[in-house]
A and B are shown apart, each in its own frame.
Chain A
Amino acid sequence: MAQVTAQQLPSAAHAEHEHSHLSEEEQNNNLKLGVWLYLASEIVIFSIMIVGYVILRINEEEVVAQAHEQLGVGLVTANTFVLLASSYFMVMGLRAMQRGNRAGMLRWIGATALGGIVFLIGQYIEYSELSHLGIVLGFDAASQWSTLGMRFYAPTFFHGAHVFVGVVWALEVLRRGAQGRYDNNPIGIEMFGLYWHFVDVVWIMLFTLIYLV
């Protein structure tokens, strides 16, 4: 760091000093810890969403059983596999970049984004099936499903929104990756990976709690 005194520094010099004083490793550690803390806060939000459903599951067993009967587990199981696979593609993409294989990374992350898109399409099909059954978000006193709709849609849609954000992020990672920005420091891929795996972990829990139990 150059010797500077307060007098020599015009106020405009405040702009571009943020990356100058940290080594790449320090910066990477900061970013990783930051992402983990962000994910920690997400755990709490998802737990609120999940608890809304579990309350229903405990109190209105019959309604949930009927919905399971009508819907089956075929579609959602397929969707689960898609998301699990996309998580695997993700980690393989990071591995490829860490080995210096940019083309491989682009292929794997591209597959990840595709997995996310297929998942969202699956969710869309599922939602439209549900709406045919008359399961809607708002409370409907006349419907046999009563509050099932809101308690089901809130957590799954919130998760779907995270998948959507993840797909957008994946495309951004692809764009930057194609420019070679991760060749020397794949931290950007790793951060996205943490997010994407977290979204996968949430789905593992949602799948079990909402569709199976």
Chain B
Amino acid sequence: MAPAENHEAAAVARPALSDYLRWSVDHKIIGVQYGVAAFLFFIVGGAMAMLIRLELWTPALDLMVSGSAYNSLFTMHGTIMIFLFIIPMWAAFGNFVVPLQLGAKDMAFPWLNAFAFWLIPPAAVVVLLGYFVNPAEAGWTAYPPLSTLFSGDGQTLWALGAHLLGISSIMGSINFIVTILNMRPPQMTLWRMPLLCWAVLATSIIAVMATPFLAGALTLLLLDRVAGTTFFDAAGGGDVLLWQNIFWFYSHPAVYIMVLPGMGVLSEVLSVHSRKPVFGYRMVGLSSMGIAFVGFTVWAHHMFTSLQPELRIPFMITTMIIAVPTGIKMFSWLGTIWGGKIRFTSAMLFALGFMSMFVIGGITGVMLAALPFDIHVHDTYFVVSHFHFVLFGGSVFAIYAALYHWFPKITGRMMNERLGKIHFLFTYFGFLFTFFPMHIVGMLGMPRRVAVYVPEFQLWNQVISFSAFVLGFSTFIVIYNVIRSYYRGPIAGANPWRALTLEWATTSPPPPTNFDDDPIPYEDPYGYGTEAAAVYLAVVERAFDGDSSGR
């Protein structure tokens, strides 16, 4: 960039980097803190995934010293990605964007917000410390008796750390619910709320109601491990299935904690970048709530092989029902971009990537809901493929879409679009060729969570591993892009995407109090393509970007 532009950038007051390392109660600072911390964990968890794929390059056990080492590796990979990456990453975007979209000046409880974030580093230290002493080996699901009788002290630390992360998540969610319900300015009615806010509200309700199940289960697990109780030990009058049930009471809803905000992001990004109103706005908002509630009734489909037979069919049915609100969203997205003036920005590309991948993940989800099929592929790579399509193809693609979409608001500078597109291509194809072949090896019977496999699968596994390395490499592109754009990206201006939601009706980055007065939202958060919307956007542009037309 030209030096003149750099000079201009100095006028944009953005927090100093050192502000991000300190205790702060500003939701925008906390949002970035969450985001950067979560991304660091993403790198750690990703490196573990690379090691897993390296081990699986050959059928034998060669890289790892023992099967135990492999066990602890995938245990940590899952734990980090779920508890330390995806969930905090949504807290990051929720924190930064939701109060701005509502027109609020901060979260309802700024201090609690900061506290919830600062619980994460010590919790992460506890979890990771376990990995280095005597690691947990029971997978992120920590089924007893693996987690009680056969796992090292690291499992105790794992449970403690997960407990802390759960507490942090409950605090954050309480904050979101109160903020969304109570902190809206008078004109921001519930049915004018952007869909990301609806999604975060639904997510937070799930988190407050479901996370305590995890806390309860972890408490009992800790007692079993350290106090000699036998809640989960059949030999001592306990019940192994009790853990599976309570764990999935939490963890199935938690799947929606991880993907609902992504669905909210999709509605934002697709609408803005195709200049079309969201198709079926109310139904999309309600479907988030629908997912939240139906999500509590499907947990036992994780236990089809250990469930009493007469309950299998009811859970199969509820699981298929939950595909309906998800389908509503999918059709809403298709209807939104249909006939729109699509701009293939990096954010839009990742959003479209989400749609294609999530459809695959959703369809394999319905396949797995079908009991006879599930029994056949239970605990194979088919399942691994399914949830990576949902959690990577879904959540991570949405996280990238959100990053490209809101980076200008967060930093005041645009991301580099060309690098963004390269990043997208590497991620998209790396992802596709990593996880799609897993369907095939899974159908052929390759079990998950085992370091050795029969030699017939070697070619497939080498394809998978090679693609996984490509996928891993793509992360470096986005890291480079973020750092470069932070310093040298073009100045964004208040509203580079010409969006109608309120976060764009303030400077980039926004001042500490966000808005001078209660802002008045445009009558329809997605009313693109009308004369009135154009007038509104012109007003916003004049108000904030008067002299700096550069973007």
Say yes or no for B220: interface residue by CB 8 A criterion. Answer: yes
Assess whether B512 is in contact with A17, with CB atoms less than 8 Å apart: yes
| Residues of B500-522 whose CB lies within 8 A of A | 507, 509-513, 516-517
Say yes or no for A18: interface residue by CB 8 A criterion. Answer: yes
Assess whether B230 is in contact with A139, with CB atoms less than 8 Å apart: yes
| B174: A residues at CB distance < 8 A | 34, 37-38, 41
> A-side binding surface: helix, strand, loop or mixed?
helix
Say yes or no for A42: interface residue by CB 8 A criterion. Answer: yes
Between B16, B216, B230, the greatest number of chain A beta carbons within 10 A of the residue's beta carbon is seen for B216
CA distance A11 to B111 in the complex (A): 17
CA distance A40 to B211 in the complex (A): 11
Q: Which of A99-107, A118-126, A146-154 contacts B (4 or more CB under 8 A)?
A: A146-154
CA distance A10 to B173 in the complex (A): 30
Interface string of A46-61 (1 = CB under 8 A from B): 0111001001000000
Q: Given A30-B109, A40-B208, A150-B229, does the pair A6, B507 have CB atoms closer than 8 Å?
A: yes
Q: Given A9-B13, A14-B29, does the pair A4, B182 have CB atoms closer than 8 Å?
A: no
Assess whether A150 is in contact with B12, with CB atoms less than 8 Å apart: no
Interface string of B222-234 (1 = CB under 8 A from A): 0100011111010
CA distance A18 to B219 in the complex (A): 35
| Residues of B98-133 whose CB lies within 8 A of A | 105-106, 108-112
Say yes or no for B236: interface residue by CB 8 A criterion. Answer: yes
Assess whether B111 is in contact with A17, with CB atoms less than 8 Å apart: no
Assess whether A41 is in contact with B511, with CB atoms less than 8 Å apart: no
| A4: B residues at CB distance < 8 A | 511, 513, 516
Assess whether A41 is in contact with B517, with CB atoms less than 8 Å apart: no
Q: What's the minimum C-beta distance from A30 to chain B, rounded to whole angstroms?
A: 4
> Residue on A with the closest CB to B236?
A139
Assess whether A141 is in contact with B513, with CB atoms less than 8 Å apart: no
> Residue on B with the closest CB to A59?
B237
Q: What's the minimum C-beta distance from A26 to chain B, rounded to whole angstroms?
A: 7
Say yes or no for A44: interface residue by CB 8 A criterion. Answer: yes
Say yes or no for B350: interface residue by CB 8 A criterion. Answer: no
Q: Given A17-B106, A30-B109, does the pair A137, B239 have CB atoms closer than 8 Å?
A: no
Q: What's the minimum C-beta distance from A158 to chain B, rounded to whole angstroms?
A: 8
Q: Given A17-B513, A41-B211, does the pair A137, B105 have CB atoms closer than 8 Å?
A: no
Say yes or no for B137: interface residue by CB 8 A criterion. Answer: no
| B215: A residues at CB distance < 8 A | 45
Assess whether A34 is in contact with B109, with CB atoms less than 8 Å apart: yes
Q: Given A21-B513, A146-B237, does the pair A33, B178 have CB atoms closer than 8 Å?
A: yes
Q: What's the minimum C-beta distance from B451 to chain A, rounded to whole angstroms?
A: 34
Assess whether B220 is in contact with A48, with CB atoms less than 8 Å apart: yes
| A34: B residues at CB distance < 8 A | 108-109, 112, 174-175, 178
Q: What's the minimum C-beta distance from A49 to chain B, rounded to whole angstroms?
A: 6
> Residue on B with the closest CB to A55?
B239
Q: Which of B19-27, B153-161, B331-339, B467-475 contacts A (4 or more CB under 8 A)?
A: B19-27
Interface string of A1-23 (1 = CB under 8 A from B): 10111111111011101100100
Assess whether A44 is in contact with B216, with CB atoms less than 8 Å apart: yes
Q: What's the minimum C-beta distance from B504 to chain A, rounded to whole angstroms?
A: 15
Say yes or no for A185: interface residue by CB 8 A criterion. Answer: no
List 8 additional contacts besides A4-B511, A11-B15, A29-B182; criterion CB under 8 Å.
Answer: A9-B512, A11-B16, A18-B110, A30-B109, A38-B174, A48-B212, A48-B219, A49-B219
A and B contact pairs by CB, cutoff 8 A, 28 listed = A1-B517, A4-B516, A5-B507, A6-B13, A6-B509, A7-B11, A8-B13, A10-B13, A11-B13, A14-B24, A14-B26, A21-B513, A30-B178, A30-B182, A33-B177, A34-B174, A42-B212, A43-B212, A44-B210, A44-B212, A48-B219, A55-B239, A138-B229, A139-B233, A147-B236, A150-B230, A154-B220, A154-B223
